[in-house]
Amino acid sequence: MGKFKEAADALTEGKKAILVHNNADVDAMGSAYALYRSFPDCTICVCGGTDYVAGTFIDNLEIPFAETYDSKDYDLTVVVDTSSPELLDVEVPEGSVVIDHHIPTDKWKDVQFFCDCEYVSCCEVVAEIIRTADMPITKETGLALLGGILTDSGHFQFARTETLRNFAEIMDECGIAMDEAMSVVSAETRMSERVAILKTISRTKFERVADMIVASALGNSFEASACKAIMNSGADVVFVGTQRDNAFRISSRATQEIVRRGINLGDILKNIGTDTDCDGGGHLGAAGISGIGDVEAVLGMCVSQAMDVFRQIKAEELQESEFS
């Protein structure tokens, strides 16, 4: 609770800019909007755009934001849901506040770092900060927080028991019905996304160890959606990458069953990021990596490391069966 009190105290004074990562998702926008509504004199700065669902979320809640940022215009800069400064297009000044829930990458330097990776969403961390400041969570704030929890938990597929408790507490406190929470993140799948997913599926390759399958594919866009589609087709772990000139980006997903058996995508992509001087990390069942390089080479590294973990899981399970 002490770290949340320190974060709340830092947010009470001065003119503040709240930054979100490039291609911001609902958890980032929900965290930013909840802070905007709870603490005085805040401006949300979206400098690197948002994803499609977050765009719908912004429209549904009528979230105000600026598309530019200059640190000289603010007394304090606050960064939410961002595991590394490399995920921003702007320079963050020393002494800024960073609020996050990803596995730490140790890339944030000279900032006030408030991170708890036990939370499934950054919105849960923000909710604790707001409560610690003795601020009421209004209905609009609650909808923003619930939207982030819903999307980052995969609509509860990756939820922990504490996630469900946090969600229910906000619903009760704000008088929000489940259909209201769902409606703020409801977005129709566009034709372009459907076509991109189908094309990515057609390029999918896979490897297996015993009953565990890892799949990889090259895509053009909508990597996260393609990951989910390939996983729904039977893969336990999926890596989907895109290449733009010299830059690449890879998204990954894992089933909850394989996470329980021992996979940690956040660690895998963090390690590959360290080895390749790229930015990698995330959560047990969902992670990403981006940087300069050849996407096919990095996809190969991802598959290789996942296969190594599969072999370790299988060896440990065989050993356990021998002693049972």
- Tell me the mean pLDDT per 10 residues along the chain, length 324: 86 96 96 97 96 94 97 97 92 96 90 94 97 94 98 91 97 97 90 94 96 96 92 96 94 94 95 92 90 96 97 92 74
Tell the residue number behind the tokens 């406190």, with chain if given.
Answer: 173
State which residues form the domain around 24.
2-183
Q: Which of these three, 141, 166, 183, is where a domain ends?
A: 183
Question: How many separate domains does the chain show?
Answer: 2
Provide the pLDDT for residue 324: 64
Claim to verify: residue 227 and residue 310 sit in the same structural domain: yes
Residues of 36-67 as b/e, b for ≥16 C-beta within 10 angstroms?
A: bbbbeebbbbbbbebbbbbebbbeebebebee
Q: Token digits for 18?
A: 């709240």
Claim to verify: residue 89 and residue 32 sit in the same structural domain: yes
Claim to verify: residue 255 and residue 279 sit in the same structural domain: yes
Question: Following CA atoms 288, 292, 293, 298 in sequence, which dihedral angle do they give, to the nearest 10 degrees?
Answer: -10
**CATH code, domain with 203:** 3.10.310.40
Claim to verify: residue 145 and residue 12 sit in the same structural domain: yes
Q: Which pTM value belongs to this model? A: 0.82
Looking at the DSSP bridge assignments, the partners of residue 19 are: 45, 79
Claim to verify: residue 51 and residue 168 sit in the same structural domain: yes
Claim to verify: residue 174 and residue 207 sit in the same structural domain: no
Provide the pLDDT for residue 319: 86
Provide the pLDDT for residue 216: 98
Claim to verify: residue 150 and residue 74 sit in the same structural domain: yes
Claim to verify: residue 170 and residue 198 sit in the same structural domain: no
